[in-house]
Amino acid sequence: MPSIKSKEWSLANRPVGMPKLSDFGMRETDAPEPGNGEIQVRNSWMSVDPYMRGRMYDRESYVPPFQIGETLQGGAVGTVVASKHPDYAEGDLVVSMAGWREAWTAAPESVMANKVPKTGLPDSALLGVAGMPGLTAYAGILRVAELKEGDTVFVSGAAGAVGSTVVQIAKIKGCTVIGSAGGTEKCKLVKELGADHVIDYKQHDTYDSLLGALRAAAPKGIDVYFDNVGGDHLQAAIECARPMGRFAICGMISQYNDTEPRPGPNNIIQVVGKQLTLRGFIVSSHVDLQPQFLQDMAGWIQSGKMKFEETVMEGIETAPEAFLGLFQGRNKGKMLVKLT
Amino acid sequence: MPSIKSKEWSLANRPVGMPKLSDFGMRETDAPEPGNGEIQVRNSWMSVDPYMRGRMYDRESYVPPFQIGETLQGGAVGTVVASKHPDYAEGDLVVSMAGWREAWTAAPESVMANKVPKTGLPDSALLGVAGMPGLTAYAGILRVAELKEGDTVFVSGAAGAVGSTVVQIAKIKGCTVIGSAGGTEKCKLVKELGADHVIDYKQHDTYDSLLGALRAAAPKGIDVYFDNVGGDHLQAAIECARPMGRFAICGMISQYNDTEPRPGPNNIIQVVGKQLTLRGFIVSSHVDLQPQFLQDMAGWIQSGKMKFEETVMEGIETAPEAFLGLFQGRNKGKMLVKLT
């Protein structure tokens, strides 16, 4: 049971505005042989997700900030190489928060590791459609937005890991779906996933144009908005909302790199007259849905109702580039880094 | 059964920005003797409420816009003078939407009139604490904001008809209450109603100052915000909200006379990380609570737990001035016009 070489990423300094490659630093360490209660794991995939940008600020939030020089954290899937933990054996598949590194040795609880039963799914899906982004979509659209059959649903970031899953769940539930995404190729994907209407926000790059496109797609208005983007999209959604509209506010990627406060929607007063509900949420508050989620998702994937797209970068060296790509719209579906 | 002279108010033209007295026009008509199914009523009190400003715009909304030259509508209480309706008799007390006039003859249903059983309350209370504003406060704080014992509650417009009731309900339910109001006299009232902390927004007339005052009053943050005001108050409430905070958005009086869209809260992104719920509501969606509301309110008033303040103008001629006074902060508690 030798130690394993592991390249790992940390913050070299706190990014200001859009992060740069020079904000990250890589070093090589060892994942030593495990002590009592520990496991040694070689990661095969790691995840980059927009929410990680929030942890790069030094501020109080729902997850503690990353510390300069400490190895970054994030979703990863790997295989147990050696175990001194009674519940884990060599060869077990493990999902953990010990990403941004090639290998690690730790007590499973300390990195939120969980053993994954063998499924028919590729391992990478455990970081996407069958993992955290999938549960985010599932909890957000079904519980937070209280989706009802027949709703007209608007989803921004509809080609992303979360958005593309939301589009498909809403179609499975008998809704009319409008997805927005950036660029012809992504819009084609969103359409293939079943969206009734697609808005290319790069073609509608002013608020008025975006609003016009949404009005054309939903002449009677929208019942539900699933927000991954914030900014103009949120304002347009308020403008087009029908009475009693429900908004699941999952993220605002258009604003994550803002260095100055940005004015909010100038029509928020409509929340009163239309009796809208805007509800922010974090997936960790909805882990109680996990068993039902996995059962539904496995069924949908097997029956061909749920498709998933991945954008894969190769090798630990590419991790910062993959992360930056999220804010440049470089991913279709889940952005992943393949490690072995 | 002669006809009754009635002075009535209508819009002379649609106000732009803050309404002016010249936007209103008065004429004298007759309330004729009632035909079959009709009642003839002399109003004793009429209500002016902030929401009426919304009906002065020519736009689609939850209530149809007022038409130029047609008699305005609003809450009124009056006494039946003559009846050709089987359910009404001379002397009955009636609450209706046939305000802005001294007397009227109509089928009760056509003006949303309801007979009121004799209570121990003064008639004017039927337009305030035991009427629409009271139910607004009750439904908003208990159902929409899902108030829990021990919550720290922030109420804007806390000296107004709705806000002053919210303050007292929250105290009855065992909460810590911070009220904001404009001026020394109103703040004194809010304190007398039981608020733990009072913020005079006229003393804190910048966003930073308001935020500082709220932080000082609620160093651990707020769980619930009841919004009557919008603007800086809403932004400060988001800034001070604790995780899972609940916002009942009842109105935004600071914005009702805006002629240009106003930037929304520049920190709305915090809705995600704090998992806030912002929920707009209209009292008419909560009339199912009416029986429980009246029972609770009568009990609270009788036991001295619920006080109510009124600002009374005398005579139908003062009605537009009373209405404009709402936006100038001239009322403590419910603003009313006494007609007889």
pLDDT tens for B9-29 read 999 999 999 999 999 999 999
Select the residue of A263, A274, A285 nearest B266 (Cβ to Cβ): A263
Contact: A62, B273; criterion CB under 8 Å: yes
Instruction: Name the residue in chain B with its Cα closest to that of A260.
Output: B266
Structure-block tokens of residue B253:
């009086």
Residue B46 clears pLDDT 80, i.e. is over it: yes
Q: What is the C-alpha radius of gyration for chain B, rounded to an integer number of angstroms? A: 20
Angle at A91 between CA A90 and CA A93, to 5 degrees: 120
Per-residue model confidence (pLDDT) at position A190 = 98
Residue B82 clears pLDDT 90, i.e. is over it: yes
Q: Minimal Cα–Cα distance from B172 to chain A, Å?
A: 26
Burial of A146 (0-12, 13-18, 19+ CB in 10 A): middle
* Tens-digit pLDDT profile for residues A158-194: 999 999 999 999 999 999 999 999 999 999 999 999 9
More reliable by pLDDT, A119 or B260: B260
Structure-block tokens of residue A92:
């077990």
Structure-block tokens of residue A174:
């008998």
Per-residue model confidence (pLDDT) at position B336 = 97
Contact A88, A106 (CB under 8 A): no
Residue B123 clears pLDDT 70, i.e. is over it: yes
Instruction: Name the residue in chain B with its Cα closest to that of A248.
Output: B272
Residue B61 clears pLDDT 80, i.e. is over it: no
ipTM of the complex: 0.92
Per-residue model confidence (pLDDT) at position A1 = 62
Per-residue model confidence (pLDDT) at position A117 = 83
Structure-block tokens of residue B250:
């009842």
Select the residue of A252, A272, A276 nearest B272 (Cβ to Cβ): A252
Q: Minimal Cα–Cα distance from B113 to chain A, Å?
A: 23
Select the residue of B234, B266, B272 nearest A280 (Cβ to Cβ): B272
Per-residue model confidence (pLDDT) at position B1 = 62
Average pLDDT, integer, range A22-38: 97
Select the residue of A269, A282, A285 nearest B230 (Cβ to Cβ): A269
Rounded to 10 degrees, the C-alpha dihedral B75/B78/B80/B86 comes to 30
Contact: B271, A264; criterion CB under 8 Å: no
Residue B62 clears pLDDT 80, i.e. is over it: no
Contacts of A243 in chain B (CB under 8 A): 62
Q: Which domains are delineated in chain B?
A: 4-128+309-338 (3.90.180.10), 132-284 (3.40.50.720)
Q: How many beta-carbon contacts under 8 Å exist across A and B?
A: 103
Contact A206, A166 (CB under 8 A): no
In the block, tokens 């992303």 appear at A160
* Tens-digit pLDDT profile for residues B222-276: 999 999 999 999 999 999 999 999 999 999 999 988 889 999 999 999 999 999 9
DSSP A225-262: EEESS-HHHHHHHHHHEEEEEEEEE---GGGTT-SS--
Per-residue model confidence (pLDDT) at position A311 = 96
Average pLDDT, integer, range A305-319: 97
Closest CA relative to residue B194, chosen from B217, B211, B176, B218: B176
**B279 pLDDT band (50/70/90 cuts)?**
very high
Chain B residues touching chain A at CB-CB below 8 Å: 54, 61-62, 230, 234-235, 243, 249-252, 255, 261-282, 285
Q: Chain B interface, mutation test: which of A275, A281, A282, most B Cβ atoms within 10 Å? A: A275
* Tens-digit pLDDT profile for residues B167-220: 999 999 999 999 999 999 999 999 999 999 999 999 999 999 999 999 999 999
Per-residue model confidence (pLDDT) at position A59 = 85
Count of CA atoms in the C-beta half-sphere (13 A) of A77: 20
Contact B170, B155 (CB under 8 A): yes
The mean pLDDT of chain A is 96
Q: Minimal Cα–Cα distance from A233 to chain B, Å?
A: 13
* Tens-digit pLDDT profile for residues A190-237: 999 999 999 999 999 999 999 999 999 999 999 999 999 999 999 999
Rounded to 10 degrees, the C-alpha dihedral B279/A228/A114/A322 comes to -160
Average pLDDT, integer, range B92-106: 97
Q: Minimal Cα–Cα distance from B243 to chain A, Å?
A: 8
